[in-house]
């Protein structure tokens, strides 16, 4: 075997020795106990898995929109990689939601056949940051910085959940989110410290996403009940850690925390209750239309 050329080494034989970590991709949840923890309401646990799964699914869709349209080829791949990490988390969480619900819905049914009011993602992830009209790269980075800082803190605590599946998904996700946060922080520093123009765009991006930050730390009744049962994380407890991370990045970038009012819930209800912004319908139309137009289609 020759190691003069990495691609020769890849194609030369079926020998797996040249892959640093091999090619055997195991199910990340293999061997994980899938029983539902005692004393936990099934409907609550189903809804909670949908909350965390929908956050990942919808942001994955938003990031995938950049595919082939990012400012540079390298960034195109980076955003798609992050989208794929989140899609992987969404699949495990939606599968768990369907399993706990016990009504025979699998990950595909939950992703493609639910209507907007049944989606429980926070509104931050559905915000249209582009690449189409009205969106831009800096806003995408601002959203990713906030979201990944928040989700990393959340998954870090969820690792000790009494639900073994949630704990396993969280343990896997922490490594992924740490990279997403790093990517967003690196770009925040560069856009803020680049030209006057890039700095203005970064400031505008932060102001665009900031009204949706408050919702991230507003606990839903289901989250509070499950947190009391040792299964979920009360998002209000994440505030000081996430604030600390964001303050560190913003101060390194010499940026101020935007002073903008939060987007109010609608009659006390927001994303976690299935009440979304107008961007959500368009997003779901694109996400779901193929599966709904050709029911049961396979690749």
Partner 1 sequence: MTRSSWPLYEVFVRSKRGLNHVHVGSLHAPDPEMALRNARDLYTRRNEGVSIWVVPAAAITASSPDEKDPFFAPSGDKVYRHPTFYAIPEDVPHL
For binding to partner 1 (CB under 8 A), which residues are involved?
1, 3-7, 9-10, 17-23, 72-75, 77-78, 81, 182-183, 186, 190, 197
How far is 42 from 46, CA to CA, in rounded Å?
Answer: 6
Q: How far is the CB of 4 from partner 1 (least distance, A)?
A: 7
Write the CA distances from 272 to 47, 123, 168, 295, integer angstroms.
9, 8, 23, 28
Q: How far is the CB of 93 from partner 1 (least distance, A)?
A: 23
Element (H, E) at 133: none
Torsion of CA 114, 117, 120, 122, to 10 degrees: 130
How far is 228 from 251, CA to CA, in rounded Å?
Answer: 35
| Choice between 81 and 218, CB closer to partner 1 | 81
Q: How far is the CB of 256 from partner 1 (least distance, A)?
A: 24
3-state SS, one letter per residue, for 80-118: HHHHHHHHHHHHHHHHHHHHHHCCCCCHHHHHHCCCHHH
| Choice between 177 and 280, CB closer to partner 1 | 177
| Choice between 17 and 103, CB closer to partner 1 | 17
Q: How far is the CB of 36 from partner 1 (least distance, A)?
A: 34
| Choice between 75 and 101, CB closer to partner 1 | 75
| Choice between 105 and 183, CB closer to partner 1 | 183
Q: How far is the CB of 19 from partner 1 (least distance, A)?
A: 5
Closest CA to 95 of 85, 103, 105: 105
């Amino acid at each position: 075997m020759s190691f003069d050329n990495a691609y020769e080494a890849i194609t030369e034989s079926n020998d797996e020795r040249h892959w640093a970590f091999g090619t055997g991709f195991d199910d990340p949840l293999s061997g994980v106990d899938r029983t539902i923890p005692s004393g936990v309401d099934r409907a609550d646990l189903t809804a909670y898995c949908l909350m965390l799964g929908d956050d990942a699914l919808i942001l994955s869709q938003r990031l995938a929109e950049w595919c082939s349209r990012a400012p540079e080829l390298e960034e195109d791949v980076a955003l798609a990689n992050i989208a794929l990490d989140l899609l992987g988390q969404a699949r495990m969480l939606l599968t768990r939601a369907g399993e706990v619900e016990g009504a025979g819905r699998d990950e595909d049914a939950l992703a493609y056949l639910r209507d907007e009011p049944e989606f429980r993602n926070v509104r931050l992830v559905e915000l249209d940051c582009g690449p189409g009209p009205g969106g831009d790269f800096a806003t995408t980075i601002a959203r990713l910085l906030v979201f990944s800082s928040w989700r990393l803190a959340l998954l870090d605590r969820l690792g000790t959940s009494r639900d073994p599946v949630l704990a396993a998904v969280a343990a896997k996700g922490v490594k992924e989110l740490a990279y997403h946060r790093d990517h967003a922080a690196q770009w925040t520093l560069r856009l803020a410290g680049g030209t006057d123009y890039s700095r203005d765009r970064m400031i505008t991006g932060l102001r665009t996403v900031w009204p949706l930050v408050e919702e991230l730390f507003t606990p839903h009744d289901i989250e509070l009940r499950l947190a009391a049962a040792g299964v979920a994380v009360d998002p209000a407890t994440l505030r000081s850690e996430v604030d600390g991370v964001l303050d560190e990045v913003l101060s390194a970038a010499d940026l101020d925390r935007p002073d903008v009012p939060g987007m109010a819930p609608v009659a006390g209800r927001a994303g976690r209750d299935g009440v979304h912004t107008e961007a959500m319908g368009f997003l779901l139309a694109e996400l779901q239309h193929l599966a709904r137009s050709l029911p049961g289609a396979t690749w």
